[in-house]
A and B are shown apart, each in its own frame.
Chain A
């Protein structure tokens, strides 16, 4: 049976995590459909139709779906679920918010943060903050899963030519209402999609010192991340947080500056290809996972690193 993916988007553009989810879906079944639920989201529909491997794009475009509230989207997905053997969404905050609701309405289990597809009914996912890897098999009639983007390559964003189908159902909820949004603005690459990330921890001392990382980020085209300690101390906003409770990343190069390397932080970044740690405490646990460790005061090392890049 076909696989349905709930697209991650902001009504303006399709988010890259959707492309990784398409790759996971094609490993389950060749017939992959993408559902775009939103409002005035025609460019997203356009982009989704061009993704290689997608055969059909379902469109639900209505003011009721503008903020993709879980109450509305889950009911819409359940209405069309009968045609599908699998329902997938990227394991973003939107996917995590909506998909368990879909599963419960269908009376099936949900598998979170899948990193590998073994077969159409067997999947691999991390547990205990990534300190154990579980392989699970499900015999549920509809398999509902969120996909960890860093576990799969991105599908090509061009080359596809999916047909389109407009869904006419409008499901509104009078018990949940969008009030406002405060989005952090940044010109840098998105954290979860960046090839290089430089992250700061408690050792940065204060928020102003994060500017030290910007020069390196500019030179390397890197995104800036942070540990929970840095976020809790108010140095940077929480959407920069990498870890079990923040974002999971797996860039080519991860530079950890002034981060001790608590289990919860490692859960979010230990699949990075190359890890560099700069820390003045030579016993910091981060050095156990770092490919290259530099024991030095970050206030000396970071400016020097910037100059030599």
Chain B
């Protein structure tokens, strides 16, 4: 079976973001970019399924400008067999990305599409669900365990009250939660090998998908700053402040 895994290039999760002074967006010039952490987990899961003999091929896909090829090379260094870059401007909305990935999934006849549950830049948590809807595939979001047997994926999901297990018939879409696995690091020889793996570039026109959005950004601003607090010297002083100053404890 073939697995399609999507990856997104985002600002590194350790970077403290700065909003541009014209309030148009977050400033991305000269900041460290990396693979979205949830996508790393998706890649790791796909590779583990291949190592278990469940999957025969893992194809990585990313939608974005040429710089996302770097992220695809990382996915291949981790173990993906080949990669597809769908050439597009960075920052397309989820629906456009979902349409492009759905089309790639169809062309590749992927049996399973594994995606991160959300990107840490836009924080949308939408694309996987949208890909599933567009293909009319079943979905299992926020996965913390995936077991594949008899053309079915048994997926344990992280829900608000605890855990839920669903069985979905392949082909299907699964999105990953943080606890699904611990992603590996790419070794230097594997990084070198990844340079020789095939990377196709497609455009939205090649895929016959029209992209565009009716959503526009009015402004991006920094969040309200909290006023600096104080340090108290003892538990007694803390309780006193909570009772008499903040009045949150009676």
Contact = CB atoms under 8 A, between A and B. Distances in A.
Contact of B123 (A98, A129, A184, A275): A129
Interface in A189-234: 192, 196, 220, 228, 231-232
B16 interface: yes
B142 to A, nearest CB: 6
B130 A101 contact: yes
Q: For chain B, which range describes its interface: under 10, 10 to 19, 20 to 34, or 35 or more residues?
A: 35 or more
Interface stretch (B183-191, B198-206, B229-237): B229-237
B126 A100 contact: yes
Contact of A132 (B17, B134, B137): B17
B221 A182 contact: no
B161 A109 contact: no
B104 interface: no
A122 interface: yes
A174 B151 CA distance: 13
A288 interface: yes
Contacts of A301: 235
A288 B228 contact: yes
B41 to A, nearest CB: 11
Contacts of A96: 125, 129, 141
Interface string B186-229: 00000000000000000000000000011111111111001011
B179 A304 contact: no
Interface stretch (B44-52, B62-70, B91-99): B91-99
B21 interface: no
A122, A126, A128, A173, most chain B CB atoms within 10 A: A128
Contacts of A244: 120, 123
Interface string B93-129: 1110010000000000000000001101111111111
Given A308-B235, A309-B249, A126 B216 contact: no
B40 to A, nearest CB: 13
Interface string A231-271: 11000011100001101000011000000000110000010
A136 interface: yes
Interface centre among A140, A179, A192 (most CB of B within 10 A): A179
Nearest to B132: A101
Contact of A291 (B138, B157, B229, B235): B229
B19 A132 contact: yes
Interface in A66-88: 67, 69-71, 74
B168 A179 contact: no
Nearest to A91: B125
Contacts of B19: 132
Contacts of A172: none
B226 A270 contact: yes
B94 A110 contact: yes
B93 A181 contact: no
Contacts of B220: 127, 132-135
A102 to B, nearest CB: 8
B125 A136 contact: no
Contact of A238 (B26, B120, B123, B179): B179
Interface in B139-187: 139-142, 144, 154, 157-169, 172, 177-179
B248 A131 contact: no
Contacts of B222: 131-133
A220 B125 CA distance: 34
Interface stretch (B1-9, B71-79, B81-89, B238-246): B238-246
Contact of B95 (A104, A178, A239, A295): A104
B60 interface: no
B11 interface: yes
Contacts of A137: 215-216, 218
B163 A292 contact: no
A61 interface: no
B121 A128 contact: yes
B133 A100 contact: yes
Given A110-B94, A178-B166, A309-B249, A295 B231 contact: yes
A97 interface: yes
Given A70-B141, A308-B239, 6 more contacts: A101-B129, A126-B223, A131-B223, A132-B221, A175-B172, A176-B140
A-B residue pairs, 8 tightest by C-beta: A100-B129, A104-B133, A100-B126, A104-B130, A176-B138, A291-B229, A175-B169, A179-B165
Interface of A: 10, 67, 69-71, 74, 92-94, 96-105, 107-113, 122, 126-140, 173-184, 192, 196, 220, 228, 231-232, 237-239, 244-245, 247, 252-253, 263-264, 270, 273-276, 282, 287-296, 301, 304-305, 308-309
11 contacts: A94-B159, A96-B125, A96-B141, A109-B94, A128-B26, A179-B166, A183-B163, A238-B163, A247-B160, A273-B248, A292-B242
